[in-house]
């Protein structure tokens, strides 16, 4: 057996190296031609289509609803906060959505996830696109946690909150040869300190949907979205704290985001919907995050070293990310006004 494993190790390395030498040049040419000639022709017409969006009460989910509305889609909007959903629904109708269904639900609960899908089918009779967008963040070191069991909610919302609706929606999506759009994160690719459970949940999402994509083939297309920092409740500081409670902590947010620019939610939604309509398998935005994928594959120790220097720091001083952000005027230049003032997020947490 040891001889067989040794032989397979040699053969596999040689075979993969030879395959890449042949495949990569051909692939690069094909991608370039596809980008220039084919990609512009692959735009899906969303008029008359039905889209189910989870986590649609604010942030990226809210803007995705507006972008789909502008393209003429009917939609079902799901989240816990019904009043906020009603506000989003009203604006979506103004922007062109023929019909909007509001469903108050905890998408991390399997019975609620099933109810959301069934209500969508009962209302519209079909489902063309599922957008899994619900999410929770965390912003503390693992060893600082005082209530470890409370952090299961991150996996429940981020991972199972996508898997459950996918499971129940899949038969209907196959009927329409529809699409699944999953809001994962760069955190699923890059091990950022203070975000251990968040990163783990997003990594699980990425691998799950990559596997599901290989199982479904062309029956249902899957777009995995890996975002950096985008204006939302998360970048306003809403996160699971070390005691397990969900609260706004802008001090921790400043350390995690640091001097990195926070992207526009509206621009993000446009890119996601446009990419999904073209059938893109991955969407990474802002695009300057993409090289980190390569570095993680070829030299992961560089990413680990940088993350430690940038986000951890010494016990006696603030992390480098926070010290850089403290430069006068930099935060107001890099962060949108909506992120600097948590406003509604604080009110709803304490309501």
Q: Is the pLDDT of residue 350 over 50?
A: no
Q: Is the pLDDT of residue 292 over 90?
A: no
Angstrom distance (rounded) from CA 57 to CA 74: 16
The alpha helices in the chain, defined as continuous H runs, are 2-33, 59-70, 82-94, 110-124, 152-155, 161-176, 196-216, 250-257, 265-278, 291-298, 300-307, 320-325, 330-334, 337-340, 344-349
Share above pLDDT 90 across residues of the chain, in percent, rounded to a whole number: 71
CA pseudo-torsion sign 294, 295, 296, 299: positive
Instruction: Determine the pLDDT at residue 128.
Output: 98
Q: Which helix (H) or strand (E) holds 77?
A: strand 74-79
Task: Confirm whether 198 is a catalytic residue.
Answer: yes
Instruction: Determine the pLDDT at residue 33.
Output: 77
Q: Is the pLDDT of residue 316 over 70?
A: no
Report residue 97 as tokens.
């959505």
Q: What is the DSSP string of 222-238?
A: EEEEEE--BSSTTTTTE
Angstrom distance (rounded) from CA 115 to CA 72: 25
Residues 6+ apart with CB under 8 A from 79: 54, 55, 56, 57, 58, 61, 85, 104, 105, 107, 134
DSSP helix/strand/coil, 204: helix
**At 343, is the pLDDT very low, low, confident or very high (cuts 50, 70, 90)?**
low
Question: How high is the mean pLDDT of the chain?
Answer: 91
**At 144, is the pLDDT very low, low, confident or very high (cuts 50, 70, 90)?**
very high
DSSP 263: B
Instruction: Determine the pLDDT at residue 347.
Output: 47
Tens of pLDDT along 5-61?
Answer: 777 787 788 888 888 788 878 877 777 777 777 666 667 889 999 999 999 999 999
| Lowest mean pLDDT, pick from 20-29, 108-117, 286-295 | 20-29
Domain ranges of the chain: 42-349
Query: Global pTM?
Result: 0.90
Report residue 191 as tokens.
């091990």
Q: Is the pLDDT of residue 139 over 50?
A: yes
DSSP 43: P
Instruction: Determine the pLDDT at residue 247.
Output: 95
Write down the catalytic residue from 66, 168, 198, 209.
198
Query: Which residue would you say has higher pLDDT here, 313 or 256?
Result: 256
Domain 42-349 has CATH 3.40.50.720: yes
Angstrom distance (rounded) from CA 224 to CA 279: 10
């Amino acid at each position: 057996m040891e001889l067989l494993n040794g032989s397979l190790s040699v053969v596999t390395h040689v075979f993969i190296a030879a395959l890449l030498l042949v495949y990569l040049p051909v692939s690069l040419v094909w991608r370039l031609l596809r980008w220039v000639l084919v990609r512009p022709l692959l735009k899906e017409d969303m008029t008359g289509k039905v889209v189910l969006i989870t986590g649609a009460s604010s942030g990226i989910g809210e803007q995705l609803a507006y972008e789909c509305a502008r393209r003429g889609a009917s939609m079902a909007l799901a989240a816990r906060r019904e009043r906020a959903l009603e506000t989003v629904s009203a604006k979506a109708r103004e922007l062109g959505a023929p019909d909007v269904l509001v469903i108050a639900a905890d998408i991390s609960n399997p019975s609620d996830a099933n109810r959301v899908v069934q209500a969508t089918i009962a209302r519209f009779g079909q489902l063309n696109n599922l957008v899994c967008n619900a999410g929770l963040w965390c912003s503390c070191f693992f060893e600082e946690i005082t209530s470890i069991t409370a952090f299961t909610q991150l996996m429940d919302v981020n991972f199972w909150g996508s898997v459950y609706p996918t499971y129940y929606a899949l038969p209907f999506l196959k009927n329409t040869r529809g699409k699944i759009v999953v809001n994962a994160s760069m955190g699923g690719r890059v091990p950022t300190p203070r975000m251990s459970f968040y990163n783990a949940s997003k990594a699980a999402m990425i691998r799950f949907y990559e596997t599901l994509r290989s199982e479904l083939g062309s029956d249902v297309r899957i777009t995995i979205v890996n975002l950096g920092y985008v204006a939302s409740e998360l970048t306003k500081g809403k996160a699971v704290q070390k005691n397990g409670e969900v609260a706004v902590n802008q001090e921790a947010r400043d350390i995690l985001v640091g001097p990195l620019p926070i992207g526009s939610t509206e621009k993000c939604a446009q890119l996601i919907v446009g990419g999904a309509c073209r059938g893109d398998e991955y969407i990474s935005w802002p695009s300057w995050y993409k090289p980190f994928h390569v570095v993680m594959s070829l030299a992961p120790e560089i990413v680990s070293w940088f993350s430690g220097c940038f986000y951890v720091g010494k016990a006696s001083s603030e992390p480098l990310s926070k010290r850089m952000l403290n430069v006068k005027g930099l935060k107001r230049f890099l962060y949108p006004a909506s992120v600097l003032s948590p406003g509604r997020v604080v009110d709803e947490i304490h309501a």
